């Protein structure tokens, strides 16, 4: 036992020594996510390079960083003698990717969710970055293994999934590709765990490269039910406000439909189409949802989704319900997905899932409640799967047997 402890201590010491040599962070993509990652990295004292294909995109990202740091400066949180402008002035800007990564220790891309574009970025980085450099992707759901298969050193490639806005959201998922080394996982975690945030960061390991990872995967199958519900409401003249009320529990900040409006239905449509290919055809969006997006009703960003956002957040009645589904049924669906993650080896303990949901969505996870309600919830899932013809909603063996309870 002392020998094992000594070996672990030595490995930890070696990893921290390597982390101490991490100086240069290159962020590719100057959009909201990339700008956020660059901001917290420059705050931490790293040398930061921000890369994009056009200078105008970089300028917009720098403006966003300056605004975020400016708020912290006004609150006196940047430190004595440190200004937002002085930090921004330290960020190197370039449109030349190959040159940008020549001295990089960690590269993270936050470009558009397109496999070919991401692979092109990784190939260029792999060919031009130093041999020790870690290459990370901020993809929210795509396969780390597929993105990085174009590289010669997949062991140094990893998923590092931040949540938006980066300076405020504590959750960062570190995802293992099929060939990612343990050392790469540990260095990536050490880096992000110490980036500033309003609360301590929570950085779970995602141990298998599966669609959606943890947080996004947990909320995904709710759409299997809701796509049926959208069509049901449209065909029977049920108001979306009443359907939204069905999905709310006491104290819920938003119902399912309002949250979709807030995030953007164009985004969710794309994600559901991806899950339909990678998880089950049951994720295929329904007619009502496709029409919503085809009509340009993306939600808050377009001013209209299920609800009208032109005057700000809509005032919705949560008391009048449609009565065609319940928030508890959505909890059961989510718990079932948590059990699937355990079966697939994405995580080893359900407590990680609950902690991830709390950090990522600021609400309690459902696995603790599933310990008490798994038998009732399994029957609810059998019933709804039969009613709407969606096999994916049937309870998995880990849930129906209650075996997950031993994996806290």
Tokens of 183: 């050392």
Known catalytic membership, residue 146: no
Name the active-site residue from 24, 73, 143, 173.
173
Q: Which residues contact 185 (CB under 8 A, 6 or more apart)?
A: 158, 174, 176, 205
Burial class from Cβ neighbours inside 10 Å (0-12, 13-18, 19+) for residue 38 reads buried
Name the active-site residue from 141, 161, 232, 258.
161
d(CA 23, CA 42): 11
Known catalytic membership, residue 161: yes
d(CA 118, CA 139): 9
d(CA 199, CA 201): 6
Name the active-site residue from 216, 252, 280, 401.
216
d(CA 357, CA 214): 8
Known catalytic membership, residue 173: yes
Name the active-site residue from 24, 140, 378, 400.
140
Residue at token pair 């080896």:
345
Residue at token pair 């809509």:
314
Q: Which residues contact 371 (CB under 8 A, 6 or more apart)?
A: 405
Burial class from Cβ neighbours inside 10 Å (0-12, 13-18, 19+) for residue 135 reads buried
d(CA 51, CA 359): 29
User: For the residues of 226-262, what is the DSSP string, one character each?
Assistant: HHHHHHHHHHHT--HHHHHHHTPPTT-SS-HHHHHHH
Alpha-helical (H) ranges within 75-200 are: 84-88, 97-100, 115-128, 144-148, 182-193
Beta strand segments in 13-74, E? 24-28, 47-51
Question: Annotated active-site positions, please?
Answer: 140, 161, 173, 216
């Amino acid at each position: 036992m002392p020998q094992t402890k000594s070996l672990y201590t030595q490995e930890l010491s070696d990893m921290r020594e390597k982390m101490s040599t991490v100086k240069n962070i290159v962020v590719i993509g100057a959009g909201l996510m990339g700008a956020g990652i660059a901001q917290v990295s420059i705050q931490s004292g790293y040398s930061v390079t921000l890369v994009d294909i056009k200078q105008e995109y970089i300028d917009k990202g720098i403006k966003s960083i300056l605004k975020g740091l400016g708020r912290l400066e006004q609150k006196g949180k940047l430190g004595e003698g440190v200004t937002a402008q002085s930090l921004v002035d330290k960020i190197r800007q370039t449109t030349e990717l190959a040159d940008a990564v020549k001295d990089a220790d960690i590269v993270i891309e936050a470009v558009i969710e397109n496999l070919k574009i991401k692979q092109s970025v990784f190939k260029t980085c792999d060919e031009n970055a130093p041999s020790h450099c870690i290459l990370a992707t901020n993809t929210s759901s795509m396969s780390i293994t597929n993105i990085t298969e174009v590289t010669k050193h997949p062991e140094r490639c990893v998923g590092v999934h931040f949540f938006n806005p980066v300076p405020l959201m504590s959750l960062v998922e570190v995802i293992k590709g099929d060939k990612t080394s343990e050392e790469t996982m540990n260095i990536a975690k050490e880096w992000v765990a110490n980036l500033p945030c309003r609360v301590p960061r929570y950085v779970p390991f995602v141990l298998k490269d599966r669609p959606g990872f943890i947080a996004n995967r947990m909320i995904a199958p709710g759409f299997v039910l809701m796509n049926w519900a959208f069509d049901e409401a449209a065909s029977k003249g049920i108001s979306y406000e009443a359907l939204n009320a069905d999905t709310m529990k006491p104290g819920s900040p938003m119902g399912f439909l309002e949250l979709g409006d807030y995030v953007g239905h164009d985004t969710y449509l794309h994600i559901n189409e991806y899950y339909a290919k990678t998880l089950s055809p049951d994720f295929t969006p329904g007619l009502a949802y496709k029409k919503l997006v085809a009509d340009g009703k993306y939600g808050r960003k377009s001013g209209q989704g299920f609800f009208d956002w032109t005057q700000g957040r809509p005032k919705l009645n949560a008391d009048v319900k449609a009565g065609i589904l319940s928030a508890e049924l959505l909890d059961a669906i989510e718990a079932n997905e948590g059990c699937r993650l355990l079966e697939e080896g994405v995580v080893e303990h359900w407590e990680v899932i609950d902690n991830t949901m709390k950090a990522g969505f600021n609400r309690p996870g459902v696995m603790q409640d599933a310990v008490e309600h798994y038998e009732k919830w399994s029957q609810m899932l059998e019933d709804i799967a039969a009613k709407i013809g969606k096999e994916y909603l049937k309870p998995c063996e880990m849930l129906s047997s209650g075996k997950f309870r031993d994996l806290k």
